Amino acid sequence: MKLNLLSCDAQRPDKRAIANCITEISIHGNASLSNELTEILLDGDAVDIEVGDKNSGSALRALRKLDVDYEIVE
C-alpha cells in the first residue's frame, strides 16, 4: 500500500518520533532516508512511502497519533 504523507498538524512535532515511525512502517525505510523525509514533510511538502500490507493498520494508527495527515494512494 502506498501512502502520501501530506502534513503534520502537531503544534510541536516530534521529528525523532516521526522519523522512527517512517523507518518502522516503510518497506524501504532506513534511518537516514526517514530523517530526510521527515524534514521534507515538516517543511510543508508531501512525501510518498510504501507500507507493507501486514503493517497497514498499525501504520495508520501510528501516523494519526503523531498528527500526520495522509492519504492512501493504493
- Residues 20-43: pLDDT tens digits? 999 988 887 789 999 999 999 999
Within 10 angstroms of residue 66's Cβ, the number of other Cβ atoms is 17
**8 Å CB contact between 62 and 8:** no
State the pTM of this model: 0.88
**Confidence bin at 67 (pLDDT 50/70/90):** very high
pLDDT of 55 higher than 80: no
What pLDDT, on a 0 to 100 scale, did the predictor assign at position 61?
Answer: 92
Place of cell 503544534: 11
Q: What is the residue-averaged pLDDT of the chain?
A: 90
